Amino acid sequence: MNHIGISVTDINAALTWYREVLGFTILVAPVDVIVDNSTDMGILLSHMYPPEMKRVKMAHMTAGNGVGFELFQFIDPPTQRPNTTSFEYSRAETGGKQLSPVLTVFPGEIYQAVYCLDPFGNLVEVMATSYERQMSNRDPNVTSQGGGLTLTSRSSKSQQHALVDFHIYLLTLIVFVCGLR
């Protein structure tokens, strides 16, 4: 996967949150794009969005594992923030909320995850290992309920422990910043 993109109601606040909370790196600061035939990007976006779309802000970030993260803020017409009282969740003062405890994904393995909401209501899954490592040793005949991941022989035990220590720190940081349920 090259990158994923999400829409937010405040691109500057989103850049700050993803940089400060998840350690993302900003590659391209917000750019204002007119959705019409005057630029290559405007032409591309005019094929992606309905004719009502006139203006959008875009920014690009990267996660620690190198996957790109694109943010869109729709300016004209603007994105409407949903009425949060109609949802079953609320946002913490920091703008995010932890939804789950730190979970061990597969019993007996080092893979842990925690689920949060970002300030814009997007579900964020933070895993304590790289996606490639997690999925590369998976037995395709075993469902997630039964496990199926094994430790790779390419990593030493000390490397595995260092990885766990780092990700426990990261998960603790997420818990601290997003708050407890």
Q: Is the pLDDT of residue 137 over 50?
A: yes
DSSP state at residue 23: -
Query: What Å distances lie between residue 142 and 115, 125, 139, 153, CA to CA?
Result: 23, 22, 6, 20
Cβ atoms of 72 and 60 within 8 Å: the answer is no
Extended beta strands in 77-167, E state? 97-98, 103-104, 112-117, 123-127
Write down the domain spans for the chain.
3-82, 90-178
| Confidence (pLDDT) at 94 | 58
Residue 48 has what pLDDT? 76
Is residue 16's pLDDT more than 80? yes
User: Residue 154 region, left (φ>0) first, then alpha (ψ -120 to 50), else beta?
Assistant: alpha
Going by pLDDT thresholds of 50, 70 and 90, the confidence category of residue 110 is: low
Helix axes 11-22, 157-178, angle to 10 degrees: 140
Identify the band that residue 156 occupies on the pLDDT scale cut at 50, 70 and 90: very low
Residue 160 to residue 73: CA distance in whole angstroms: 39
Per-residue model confidence (pLDDT) at position 154: 37
The whole-number average pLDDT for the span 77-100 is 56
Burial 127-150 (b: 16+ CB within 10 A, else e): bbbeeebbeeeeeeeeeeeebebe
Fold of 3-82: 2,3-Dihydroxybiphenyl 1,2-Dioxygenase; domain 1 (3.10.180)
Residue-averaged pLDDT of the chain:
69
Contact 123, 115 (CB under 8 A): yes
**CA pair distance 117, 129, nearest whole angstrom:** 20
Instruction: Work out whether strand 68-76 and strand 55-62 pair parallel, antiparallel, or are unpaired.
Output: antiparallel
Residue 180: pLDDT band by 50, 70, 90 thresholds?
very low
The two structure tokens encoding residue 84: 């949060």
Beta bridge partners, 78, equal: 75
Between 7-11, 45-49, 88-92, 126-130, the lowest mean confidence (pLDDT) is in: 88-92
Q: Taking the CA of residue 99 as centre, how many other CA atoms within 13 Å lie in the half-sphere pointing to its CB? A: 15
